[in-house]
Structure 1
Amino acid sequence: MKEFDEIYDKYAWQVYLFLLRLCGNETTAEDILQDTFLKAIENSDKFGNRCEVTTWLCSIAKNEYLNYVKRRDNKNLPIEDREIPYDGDLIVQLEDKEKSIAVHKALHALSEPYREVFTLRVMGELSFRQIGDIFGKNENWARVTFFRAKAKLIEKLKEDSYEM
């Protein structure tokens, strides 16, 4: 168990920041962080050193976050009432609420895996290699998927008559 304490001390902050960018809520990120490390302890025998520890933990965190979203079931809430992912270091700085809503609507209109790859890269600040590992693909796949997602996002914003 001492080994897991060391892993927690070393990676908890990075996984917390990843979760904070996904959910935009400190309390929720803390709760999911605890669930993530609990799941990691329960499944430590399945790790097998096939990827970096941070990649493995972020993959678990992402799945825990998706489970949280499903449980929360906010599909019928107006977009203003939803938890919108933290956007502190986005490629495009969101200057006002209208612009923010337009970008998030366009992002939510993307199909998978584009939406998730874009979110992991921009909001989760993961490398292409880490994203590829999460999806069981290679780094090049993640890079191509991200750039296609970005192009689709820009195209959707233009369709909605919103210029960036």
Structure 2
Amino acid sequence: MKENAPIEDLYTEYANTVKHFLISLSGNFDLAEDLTQETFYQAYKSIHRYNGKCKISVWLCQIAKHIYYDYLKKAKHIQISEFQNLDLFENVNIEGNIEENYLIKERIKELLFAVKQAKEPYGKVFWLRAYEEMSFREIGEIFDKSENWARVNYYRAKKKIREVLTDENNM
């Protein structure tokens, strides 16, 4: 995407990525939608500062992260990541019979619960890698860290999530 692309084109191409990133931070679908709008407004105001050193999706997620943290400061929220909306994937439509769909959706809910239980930044890093399919380099850029930092935290997140899922299944 060119740096001088109309904001509508940027929105069309990247709104879902930004919204899902904000859902991973906040756990709140409605808040994520509002902050997505604010993200693109801020991107429009500062498009002249985009230098092309990272993908535009990374740049937009960095803006979204800062907007979310500003929101938290203003709202004086205590917890940063709370995947409250475990029905996020309720409308997932999977080929197969009803029982298979139910079992897969339940497994997705278990996975989201496990991600919620992972300490920060593990949950966010896992979400960006597994769901948003971002590279380790892109994840590192979002958090202003190295690619190696993102890689290490992703594997730690996977380990923690496996532990939560294993503990849950053993109950």
| 1:106-144 deviation line (CA, Å, top 9, x unaligned) | 211111111110111122222221111111222232122
Contact 2:7 2:44 in 1 (8 A): no
**Residues 25, 108 of structure 1: alpha-carbon distance in 2 compared, 3 angstrom cutoff:** closer
Q: Which residue of 1 aligns with 2:104?
A: 95
**Residues 51, 20 of structure 1: alpha-carbon distance in 2 compared, 3 angstrom cutoff:** closer
Divergent runs of 4+, >4 A: 24-30, 65-71, 85-88
Paired letter, 1:140: N
Q: Which residue of 2 aligns with 1:151?
A: 159
**Residues 123, 64 of structure 1: alpha-carbon distance in 2 compared, 3 angstrom cutoff:** farther
**Residues 61, 162 of structure 1: alpha-carbon distance in 2 compared, 3 angstrom cutoff:** farther
Paired letter, 1:52: K
Q: Does 1:19 align with 2:21?
A: no
Deviation, 1:18, is 1.2
Q: 2:39 aligns with which of 36, 39, 59?
A: 36
Instruction: Tell me the TM-score normalized by structure 1.
Output: 0.67
Structure 2 spans left out of the alignment, 5+ residues: 93-100
Paired letter, 1:53: I
Instruction: Tell me the TM-score normalized by structure 2.
Output: 0.65
**Residues 49, 19 of structure 1: alpha-carbon distance in 2 compared, 3 angstrom cutoff:** closer
Q: Does 1:114 align with 2:117?
A: no
Structure 1 spans left out of the alignment, 5+ residues: none
Identical aligned residues as a percent: 34
Deviation, 1:66, is 5.8
Deviation, 1:7, is 4.4
Deviation, 1:59, is 1.8
**Residues 117, 162 of structure 1: alpha-carbon distance in 2 compared, 3 angstrom cutoff:** farther
Deviation, 1:36, is 0.6
Deviation, 1:55, is 1.0
**Residues 9, 45 of structure 1: alpha-carbon distance in 2 compared, 3 angstrom cutoff:** closer
**Residues 161, 134 of structure 1: alpha-carbon distance in 2 compared, 3 angstrom cutoff:** same
